Amino acid sequence: MITGILCALGMLTIGFAGYFLKDLLANKDNLEKETNFAIAAGIGFVTNFFDTLGIGSFAPMTALLRGFKQIHDRVIPGTLNVSCTIPVAAEAFIFIAIIEVKIITLISMVAAAGIGAVFGAGIVAKLPEKKIQLTMGIALLTTAFLMFSGKMEWIAGLGTGEAIGLTGGKLIIAVAVNFILGAAQTAGIGMYAPSMALVYVLGMSPRVAFPIMMTAAAFALPPASIQFIKEGAYNRKASLAITVTGIVGVFIAAYIVKSLPLAMLTWLVIIVIIYTAITLLLKAASKNKVEKVAAE
């Protein structure tokens, strides 16, 4: 079944790559003049390196591309999706190969996230984004505190999970939560840190979060990216540069994750979760300020 997943992902990624290459060749004489290939390539390496460690790439990539004035705001969403599609597929292939996870757990959680993204989008889109950010931020900070408590041995037995798969009630919980996370992703809430928190709470090894969350993202990106390419709503030069160096960053970071001792990896996960929680809470706070100014 692992082979089947890899084959399906491979075909999906190759189909996207062909479509991407065709569009690049058709527009090779009209690449964006405002974009410096070397700068975009550097951004691609750095952001995909940290994406592989679970930090996420969309937010830092947006900040860097805008900070270095490499891109027009109108094409940022398309550029993020297109440029990260192949690097994220590489992450999925690598982590499935180097980190063992029970196949039923992997398929169930990945499918739940995908279904959540499709069918849950309408539901989540109606919810106030600020409330989603606040709820997720508080939940992640709580999880980070519990993880820290386990590492400091304040709570006996906490944080000792080493399971590589789930069964029964825990699997049902994981599927249900991943459905919600997949839906939340459509509202701009990244699922990397919540996935890490979920596997921790359910007593799984922190390493298992990586193949689960990367594979879910790898299957979700190509269809969205092809749509952006069809509409020409992306920066071609930046996407090419980020894709090329992003793959290099992925391979370097992936094998760092593989070689990290479990204790050190747990600390990394705690840092990622806290970083994401603070980011979400700050976004919610900024929205609150904007709303107050608008009301005045």
Q: Output the CA torsion sign for 155, 159, 162, 165.
A: positive
Give the closest residue to 98 by CA, choosing from 204, 251, 241: 251
222 is written with which tokens? 């190509």
Give yes or no for residue 153 having a pLDDT over 70.
no
Residue boundaries of the structural domains of the chain: 2-295
Is residue 77 exposed (0-12), middle (13-18) or buried (19+ Cβ within 10 Å)? middle
Give the closest residue to 2 by CA, choosing from 86, 87, 98, 113: 98
In whole numbers, what is the pLDDT of the chain averaged over residues? 84
Q: What is the pLDDT of residue 157?
A: 54
Stretch 128-149: mean pLDDT: 75
Give the closest residue to 45 by CA, choosing from 55, 57, 34, 33: 57
CA dist 52 and 89 (Å) reads 11
Q: What is the pLDDT of residue 284?
A: 80
Stretch 44-66: mean pLDDT: 87
pLDDT band at 25 (very low <50, low <70, confident <90, very high): very high
Is residue 291 exposed (0-12), middle (13-18) or buried (19+ Cβ within 10 Å)? exposed
Q: Is the pTM of this model over 0.85?
A: no
Give yes or no for residue 290 having a pLDDT over 80.
no
Give yes or no for residue 159 having a pLDDT over 70.
no
Q: What is the pLDDT of residue 193?
A: 76
Stretch 118-136: mean pLDDT: 68
C-alpha triplet 36, 40, 41: angle, nearest 5°: 115
The DSSP call for residue 163 is B
Residue 107: how many other CB atoms lie within 10 Å: 16
Q: What is the pLDDT of residue 294?
A: 59
- Which of 96-100, 142-146, 190-194 is modeled with the greatest confidence? 96-100
CA dist 115 and 212 (Å) reads 15
